[in-house]
Amino acid sequence: MAKARTIFVCQECGHETPRWAGRCPGCSAWNTLIEERQATRLGSDRGRAMSTEPAEAVPISEIEAVAAARQETHIAELDRILGGGVVQGSAVLIGGDPGIGKSTLLLQAAHRMAVCGATVLYISAEESTLQARLRAERLGALCNRVLLLAANDLDQILQQVEKHRPALAVIDSIQAVYTQEIPAAPGSVTQVRECAARLVYQAKRTGVPVILVGHVTKDGIIAGPRLLEHMVDAVLYFEGDRFHCLRILRAVKNRFGSTNEVGVFEMRREGLVEVPNPSGLFLGERAAEISGSAVVPAVEGTRPILIEVQALLSEAHYGSPERRVSGADYQRVCMLLAVLQQRAGLAVGNQNVFVNVAGGMQLDEPAADLGLAVAMASSFQRFVVPADVVLAAEVGLGGELRAVTHMEARLREAARLGFRRALIAYGNRAGYDLPPPFQVVPLKTLRQALEVVQ
């Protein structure tokens, strides 16, 4: 027998309180408590244990180490992020902006798994079966082993998972799923938390891995209570600019693999295509004889990627100089401009500054400092950075160059793509086993770097 009660739930952290307050007692956020009517009943799955075996503590050294059984999705970039495939009984949460390609990627993964003999249950909670069929037809992902269900009632979804016991169940999306036991609208904090908890419980009980698609807020975080991210085994974010073809899948949590991996995809008419060589994609349209351009060997996860950074400086004839930055940290660019003026003697204070990272990438690591600074100096002084040079170092406020991590991987990627010189910090001068034409130039200051590239 159900009994309803009125509670106030925080949209940020999921904290429940019987009375409204302007500030959440759990996370101290303002104006985040919303009123919900919640039903509670005896015997709910929320409090049900994962196992019916009696609990007994044992020494950790006596626990038998068994490798987790994985189901490959046969999409190499996705499998690498997951640590080799989807682990049996795991729950994975994928978030991303609307239209970024979450449903496309999962439908393609379902098709490839089905072609290899696995049965996949795809629950479309936001689209009709006809809409999902049309998308699958456009992607060339029609297969009898992909079972499609257009439903958002949690009980119906759990019944179908229990009935078919697929190799993978995809819920697209968790914000659209609801249970009739809770008198709240789909997408509310209580609904999302309860539905996710029961889906995770079923995955652990039956061994059927579940992938949940989650909406994101305007700040780019997954909507609903942050408790949702703690309930699942892996949290993946799909990133990219909708106006560029590149998409990056990155793990921010993974209980069965590393969070230092990223997957790179290109959005095409036929769907998402894996990009095994993203550096070639970023540098394919680079103009070698133009000032204001430099190449930075960045690291995404553990994968080195060569990215072009561009800068354009022009004198401001009236008003305050303009600063526009796309793909890099605005505050970092302003700091580098100050270093160029005070430590390198370049009068850039009256210049309009426009900085862009080619390909729609987001470049936030300190190793990009030297490339950004040299690109801006190149545009200001009208000299061309040699086409065979890459730059990787952090720039300090004193104009000194500081060492960065993963330097050998960066240099190997540059040498593989035909670059011949790398300007790095003196602290990274340790010997590297690189092909003979490649030369490493360790430097101590930004001023020295500018003298070398001119």
Would the pTM count as exceeding 0.75? yes
Q: Count CB-CB contacts under 10 A for residue 109.
A: 24
Q: Please report, in angstroms and rounded to a whole number, the separation of the first and last CA atoms in the chain.
A: 80
Task: Determine contact, residues 224/212, Cβ cutoff 8 Å.
Answer: no
User: Is residue 18 packed enough to be buried (19+ CB in 10 Å), middle (13-18) or exposed (0-12)?
Assistant: exposed
Instruction: Give the distance from CA 286 to its chain's centroid.
Output: 26
Query: Where are the alpha helices (H) located in 171-257, listed in sequence order?
Result: 189-206, 227-231
Tens-binned pLDDT, residue by residue, of the chain (454 aa): 445 567 787 776 767 788 888 888 878 888 878 777 665 443 444 444 555 456 789 898 888 776 778 899 999 999 989 988 999 999 999 988 888 899 999 999 999 999 999 999 999 999 999 999 999 999 999 999 999 999 999 999 999 999 999 999 999 989 899 998 888 888 888 888 899 999 999 999 999 999 999 887 666 566 555 678 889 999 999 887 766 788 889 898 999 888 878 888 988 888 999 988 888 878 877 877 899 999 999 998 778 999 999 999 999 988 889 999 999 999 999 999 999 999 999 999 999 999 999 877 888 899 999 999 999 999 999 999 999 999 999 999 999 999 999 999 999 999 999 999 999 999 998 888 888 889 999 999 999 999 999 8
Q: 3-state DSSP call for residue 120? A: strand
Q: 3-state DSSP call for residue 333? A: helix
Listed by start position, the domains of the chain span 1-39, 69-274, 281-453
Q: How, if at all, do strands 246-254 and 234-239 pair?
A: antiparallel
CA proximity to 441, closest of 398, 407, 397, 417? 407
pLDDT at 200 (0 to 100): 95
176 contact partners, CB below 8 Å, separation of at least 6: 125, 126, 152, 186, 187
| Cα–Cα distance, 169 to 149 (Å, whole number) | 11
CATH architecture of the domain with range 281-453: 2-Layer Sandwich (3.30)
Q: Which class is domain 69-274?
A: alpha beta
* Residues facing residue 168 across a β-bridge: 120
User: Is residue 276 packed enough to be buried (19+ CB in 10 Å), middle (13-18) or exposed (0-12)?
Assistant: exposed
